[in-house]
Every structure is written in C-alpha cells, then in structure tokens.
Structure 1
Amino acid sequence: IAAALRISRSIYLPIKKLHDVTTTIAREDLEPLVTSDNVDEITELGMSFNIMVGKVRELLAAKMQEQENLKKAELRVLQAQINPHFLYNTLDTIIWMVESKRTAQVVDLVRALSRFFRISLSKGEDWITIGEEFEHVSSYLAIQKIRYRDILDYQIDVDETILSATILKLTLQPLVENALYHGIKN
C-alpha cells in the first residue's frame, strides 16, 4: 500500500501542479511557471507549457505596443488634419488685416497664433496639463475672436484645482472648434 501511495503521489502531484498553474494562467496571470525536480513526461509537458506561456507573454506585449503605436499614429493624423485649414484661414486673416493697416491687431493675432502652435507642437509630447490645454483653447479663441469680431463672445471657466492634471493634447480645442463652427453657422 505504501508503494502504491508513493507511486500514485509521484504521478498525482506533478499533474496537480500543472493543473494549478494552468488554472492560474487561465485567469490571465501569466507569471506562474511549472517547476519540478523530476525528469519525466509530466515535467517535459510542464516545460513545454512554460515555453508556450513565454511566447504568449511576448505576443501580448507586442500586441499592446502595436495598439499604442496605432493610437499615437491616429492622434498625429488627427492633429495634422486640424492645423492646416486653421493656419490657412488665419494667414488669410493676417493678410487682410495688414492690407487694412490694422497692425496692432496683427501683432495680437500673430502672438496668439504663435502660442497656439507652441502648444500644438509641445515638443512632441502627447500629454499636456489641463492648464496648457486651456491656454491652447484660449489662443484658438483669441484668433477666432479677431476673425469673427462682432459675432463671437466667449468666457472660459475652469476649476483651478485641475489645471495641473494631464490630458491628451488637443482634446478640448477640436470640441471648441466644432461648437464654434456650428454656433456661427446657425
């Protein structure tokens, strides 16, 4: 009986260990690995399982990196689409103002445009503070106020306790631009 118990245990324990590890991994915890001091088929199965788990980890990491790169590329495409039309319209406004000899307003407009693009570019960073994002929106609205003189009035209210929090760059400005476009259109 003792020999049968020992043989049974030597078969059962490695299988139980493999079962426990696979159950843990099935719960999306890819850290546990099968270990054993024995040299048998169950141990070989466990080692093959470890290799498979390692490959799954690598694939998941590559997939996450690929998704992050895709999101960054989509953001850059969106940012590239936003700026050209706005820049062309603003430059047309500057030309019109220079031709009308409104130099004081040209200085204000160029200053606002400079601030706008400084934040848009923000040294290649995708995340900026909410304070910087509101400065970006303020520059955008200052430019539009000059362009639309009498038909645009705005007020920005923000809780100062959130200004140091970070936000994805160019999150608010497209929303403000859309609201402005539809507000002026209607």
Structure 2
Amino acid sequence: MEKENFRLLTGNLKNKIMKRIFLFITISFLLYSCSTSFKVKKKDLLFIDSNLKESFNNNSYQIDSTKHKSYLLNLFEIRKANIDTVNIKFDKNGSLILSYKFILGGNESRYIKGRFKKNYYEIYLRKDKINIPLIYSKINIDRIRVYLKKDSTLVVDKYYDNSGNIFLLAAGGSSRRQYFFKKIK
C-alpha cells in the first residue's frame, strides 16, 4: 500500500514539474516573439504633418549592425539611377511628393497617395488580403511609414508580407526594416 502511494505521489510530482516546464517554455516563447522591431524610441520622433518640406540624401546610412542599406526612391518602388538628393513635401490633398534631379540634368516628381496617422505618414503600395478560414488565404502587403526624428533624420519603416496557404500547406514570408536618411542642409 505504501509503495502504491509513493508511486502516485511521485507520478503527480512529475506531472506538476512537466506542466511548469511546459508553461515556462511557452511563456518564454511568447515574450520573445512579441518584441518590437522598431529601433527608434517614440520620444525621439517629431509629429510629421503636411508642412514638411525638406531635402534628404537618397542613400540610407547605417546606424546598427543590420547592414541593410537602400535608396530612398527604391523603397517607394521608383527605380532611378544617379540621384543624390530627394525633396519631400506634401500637396494640399495630403499626397506625398518626391522630387529629384538627375545628375546629368532634368527634374522629375512622383505623387504617392497615403494618409497621416499618429506621428507618421502611411502608404500602402499593395494591400491585398483574401481569407477563407481553414481553406485558403493569400496576403500581399507592402506598407511604408515615414517618420521624422528630432535630429531631422528621415526614418522609412518598410513592412511587407507575402504569404498564403491552401488547407495545411503554407508558404511565404514577411519582413520589417527601418532605413535612415540624413537631411541635406
């Protein structure tokens, strides 16, 4: 009788220990995966509004070890070579105007429709979502958020998600990165 009680007691103790280990691993995973990828503190940002009219270097500069560099125009899917400076301003309808001058001569401007949010300007280059729960889904999002830091650095937050599934088969990926551009004085 004592051996049976001992076995029940040790079995219950093992179950409790296993439940706690499982709970610890689950909570650790959830806390790890919920971290933000935003590298700039909210207190370092300025409110961006339609009065912005500045010139920025077209090349991003690196402030951390990610080594992800880009051109400002490429982030907006404008593929132009030999551009050093990009002028940013807004029109009366709230559209973003990107103006640039070619090194060999000539000017060009692009209007991009977006909207002002809390302290940034948000643009969706693509926003397609189809979802039939448990059967089919397709997501194609390409979003840009434009911030301005207090030191006049332009921050472009680029997020994309291109994924989908059919029943249990799924594929795709997503990414979010910030790029930093210096103001031209």
Instruction: Give the structure-1-normalised TM-score.
Output: 0.36
Larger radius of gyration: 1
Tell me: higher relative CO, structure 1 or 2? Use CA pairs within 8 A at least 6 residues apart.
2
Q: TM-score, normalised by structure 2?
A: 0.36
Determine which structure has the larger strand proportion and give its number: 2
